[in-house]
Amino acid sequence: MDIAIPARPYPYPLDPDHTALVVIDMQRDFIERGGFGDSLGNDVARLEAIIPVVSGLIGLFRKQGWLVIHTREVHKPDLSDCPPSKIRRGNAPLKIGETGAMGRLLVRGEPGNQIVDSLAPIAGEIVIDKPGKGMFWATGLEEMLKGLGTTHLVLAGVTIEVCVQTSMREANDRGFECLLVEDATESYFSEFKAAAIEMIVAQGGIVGWVAPLAALEKAIG
């Protein structure tokens, strides 16, 4: 039986047998000083602040025995999966593949590419390495989720204006019922977070639903 989660624009019908949590790109590259996000000139402390809420959300799913999926934005060491346009983009002092304080930016296996310690995946959880901003491009995730019978996705992670929003829109187009946990996601720009949330819930939930962690905790227990 579905669990009704109080949400915007109306209650989200969470199907406990077919729901997965997707935690997007909570990796050091975006959250700690010296990484890719910092190199782009962003205030990474804004993102670090959501770690306790994301941890609480992961804990809720683990307690229920529900699937937890983590993603990372990652490129191969030879950057063969990174379009030259992506490397060229911007005026950052360090570009993708160049070496910063946490190793090569956005490169597999480097210290900066690890999920922050307090949110580290545990045995049985899935880690998806994605070369794009969206979680479906070149990952096999759609086939994996369909094979598991997953129909509902609860989303968290960073950043809401880039990888989270791209992934949620792509999931919505693929027929997944998506709920974004609003205090378990963050932007480098406060106005972008507010706008992204309004874009998702507008027009009757054109992209999906939004709710705070407390709403899930109260409804699920």
Closest residue to ligand TIU, based on beta-carbon distance? 163
Closest to ligand TIU by CB, 19 vs 159, is: 159
Taking CB under 6 A as the criterion, the residue among 73, 110, 170, 177 binding ligand TIU is: 73
186 part of the interface to ligand TIU, by CB under 6 A: no
Taking CB under 6 A as the criterion, the residue among 74, 162, 201, 215 binding ligand TIU is: 162
* DSSP state at residue 93: S
Residue pair 134/6 in contact by the 8 Å Cβ criterion: no
Residue pair 78/137 in contact by the 8 Å Cβ criterion: no
113 part of the interface to ligand TIU, by CB under 6 A: no
Closest to ligand TIU by CB, 19 vs 39, is: 39
Residue 212 CB neighbours (<10 A): 16
163 part of the interface to ligand TIU, by CB under 6 A: yes
61 part of the interface to ligand TIU, by CB under 6 A: no
Residue pair 199/170 in contact by the 8 Å Cβ criterion: no
Tokens of 195: 């706008």
User: With contacts defined by CB under 6 A, how many residues of the chain interact with ligand TIU?
Assistant: 11
Residue pair 58/105 in contact by the 8 Å Cβ criterion: no
- Residues noted as catalytic: 25, 130, 163
